[in-house]
Amino acid sequence: MSVPASSTAGLFTETPFIRKKRRTERLAQCLFGAMALAMVIPLLLILGYLVFKAAPLLSWDFLTTNPTNGMRKGGIWSALLGTVYLVVISLCISAPIGVLAAVYLNEYAKDNWFTRIVNLSVVNLAGVPSIVHALFGLGAFVLFARLDRSILAASLTLAIMTMPVIIASTKEALASVPVSFREACWNVGATRWQTIKAIVLPNSISGILTGVILQVSRTAGETAPIMFTGAVFYRNIPEGNVFAYGIKDQCMALSMHLYTVTTQVTNAPEALPYAIAVTLLGTVLLVNATAIVFRVWLRNRKKW
Amino acid sequence: MTTDTLTPSSAAAGVDYGITTRDLNLWYAKFQALKGITVNIQKGIITSLIGPSGCGKTTLLRCFNRVNERYGYVTTKGEIKLLGKNIYDEDVSLIELRKSVGMVFQRPNPLPLSVYENVVFGLRIHDDKGLKKSDRDDAVEKALTEVGLWNDLKDRLDEKAITLQLEQQQKLCIARLLPLKPEIILMDEPCSALDVSGTRAIEELMFALKGRYTIVIVTHNMAQARRSSDECIFMLMGELVEHSRTTDLFITPKNRKTAEYIEGRYG
Ligand SMILES: Nc1ncnc2c1ncn2[C@@H]1O[C@H](COP(=O)(O)OP(=O)(O)OP(=O)(O)O)[C@@H](O)[C@H]1O
Ligand SMILES: [Mg+2]
């Protein structure tokens, strides 16, 4: 039986209602896309602007020589190295403690008042402004523990600041490992530690690392917590020696140096603050990029 | 109700029991999920556990290896004996208990490891004297042969277990238990994620394993309970309603509620 042409004419064709829906759909897509783009543009603008302004000063020598002439000449070596020290030492303190604490909270802790208090402290500690950490560090490490103003005291202060965030991100990474894996382990009689070692950690390590490495930029960028606890305006150290600082020394730091040259130093070359900022950003981006590559590599090895 | 009415007539004196419980009650916080369960499950046979959703089948199953205790808010009262040994005795080690009582889940849950490592996982974690590689290889071959996977997988032992078909994954999950020489295998709806042929394969496997292991299987599938089990337990709202030989339970249920359930009047 042949169907008359007229009866199929209106079949599957667009009604005004559908047309309207499609318009809304396109509008929504454009809007969301524009917002996503809006995230990228400032980043590119900032980066481009900074690099452009910093160009006259950027060179290898800038990185490897100490500031001179009241910080108007020379490079930023002592500040760069100071920042590296602060970041590395503070993460060496906060990462192990934070990760282990998170493993306890996520894998061992029963839901009781103690756990709740710990969790509550973590959340609250994560929300404390960095200037408060600074004052705590000053009181606890510099004065009470008699570390004086030193790299160690500053690193400890930074560690206290980053630890709760590391705990939170690690807990999240651990929680993303399916419970069924843990059940499978328990049901063949694995202890919790065996389960964690064999299954939970290998499958959450990339998430844990991401959380830790995100704290690098935070540590490198903060000025307040180190200002009272170990960072100084100016310090001369041997150039080209990466072990130039001792743990009890005071140090310069990029974030603080940037603050100093913009607010305290008159007649500094215009490019100087920009060059410092580019170095700071560059260091952080370098670390993040390494982390991403490492994570992709780890992720490719895991499949479930 | 006395114990006798709940126990199949065939299970007269002198029968070996794999699992026995006396007046078992379990609470999730305030909610009572098991109410006075008294049951004798015979050794070496397949017992199926049926009942509507939420009646406590999974809960009962998880009592037998004390996995429920992993949740802090669970309270258990009553007695559970496996092979005559009270599993709440002081000297019972949860690790040894769970080693002897294997569990298979609704969704196949192979570990994110290779096929080989999945099978030897249990051996590795209980290995205190450094098992030789050849011993492990033997264990893998034996276990995979037993579940009928050896021929398919012997060249793919290094592949991720997660890449297998669901049916193979589920068999692998059973194979994973075998190197530990369990006494009892608990299966919680082991076929509900599988298609017809997968279901048949698992059922055949259960038949092959029967005798050496005491098998308890939870199922929503009446036909499966009928086909594959020797005895059948019907539960309702946390209570044990009827326990008898499967043929008796399906043909001449003693309890009206059982009859209504197997006729599909509620489910
Ligand atoms: N972890 C838990 N916490 C609180 N209540 C629970 C928990 N697990 C199960 N329950 C409750 O206990 C009762 C019995 O649950 P159970 O999982 O044993 O039922 P089931 O017979 O296995 O059901 P299904 O056929 O859907 O798997 C249900 O009412 C359920 O809501
Ligand atoms: Mg269930």
pLDDT band at A6 (very low <50, low <70, confident <90, very high): low
Q: Indicate the range of A138-142, A168-172, A290-294, B215-219 predicted with least confidence.
A: A290-294
**DSSP bridge pairs for A55:** none
- What local confidence, expressed as pLDDT, does residue B26 receive? 94
- Ligand 1: which residue has its CA nearest to atom 25? B53
As a whole number, mean pLDDT of residues B29-40 equals 93
Q: Is B57 in the pocket of ligand 1 (CB under 6 A)?
A: yes
Task: Domain B45-61+94-262: give its CATH architecture.
Answer: 3-Layer(aba) Sandwich (3.40)
- What local confidence, expressed as pLDDT, does residue B16 receive? 84
CB B220 within 8 A of CB B189: yes
pLDDT digits 0-9 by tens, B149-184:
899 888 989 888 989 998 899 999 999 999 998 999
Q: In this model, does residue B190 exceed pLDDT 80?
A: yes
pLDDT band at A43 (very low <50, low <70, confident <90, very high): confident
- What local confidence, expressed as pLDDT, does residue B5 receive? 43
Residues of B with CB under 8 A from a CB of A: 65, 67, 70, 72-73, 94-99, 102-103, 105, 107, 109-112, 121-122, 124-126, 160, 162-163, 173, 176-177, 180
Q: In this model, does residue A148 exceed pLDDT 90?
A: no
Distance CA A277, CA A55 (A): 12
pLDDT band at B198 (very low <50, low <70, confident <90, very high): confident
Q: Is B151 exposed, middle or buried (0-12, 13-18, 19+ CB in 10 A)?
A: exposed
- CB < 8 Å to A112, chain B: 72
Length of chain A: 304
Alpha carbon distances (Å) from A219 to A136, A207, B56: 16, 19, 52
Model's pTM, two decimal places? 0.81
Work out the mean pLDDT of chain A and round it to a whole number. 88
A176 phi, psi to nearest 5 deg = -80, -5
- What local confidence, expressed as pLDDT, does residue A52 receive? 93
As a whole number, mean pLDDT of residues B56-64 equals 92
Continuous H helices in chain B: 3-6, 57-63, 94-100, 115-125, 133-146, 150-153, 166-177, 196-209, 222-228, 246-251, 256-262
The ranges assigned to domains in chain B are 45-61+94-262
Work out the mean pLDDT of chain B and round it to a whole number. 87
- What local confidence, expressed as pLDDT, does residue A302 receive? 59
Which run of H or E residues covers position B77?
Answer: strand B74-82
Q: In this model, does residue B197 exceed pLDDT 80?
A: yes
Beta strand segments in A54-186, E = 67-68, 73-74
| Pocket test residue of B26, B30, B58 for ligand 1, highest count of atoms within 8 A of CB | B58
Superfamily of domain A73-255+278-299: MetI-like (1.10.3720.10)
**Type of residue at B185:** I
A181 touches chain B (CB under 8 A): yes
Indicate left, alpha or beta for A204 from its phi (over 0: left) and psi (-120 to 50: alpha). Answer: alpha
pLDDT band at B265 (very low <50, low <70, confident <90, very high): low
The separation between CA B75 and the C-alpha centre of its own chain, rounded to angstroms, equals 22
pLDDT digits 0-9 by tens, A184-215:
898 888 889 999 999 999 889 888 988 998 89
For tokens 């060059």, name the residue. A275
B40 phi, psi to nearest 5 deg = -120, 115
Q: Is B62 in the pocket of ligand 1 (CB under 6 A)?
A: no
As a whole number, mean pLDDT of residues A169-183 equals 92
Measured from the CA of B73, which atom of ligand 1 is nearest? 3
The ranges assigned to domains in chain A are 73-255+278-299
- What local confidence, expressed as pLDDT, does residue B6 receive? 46
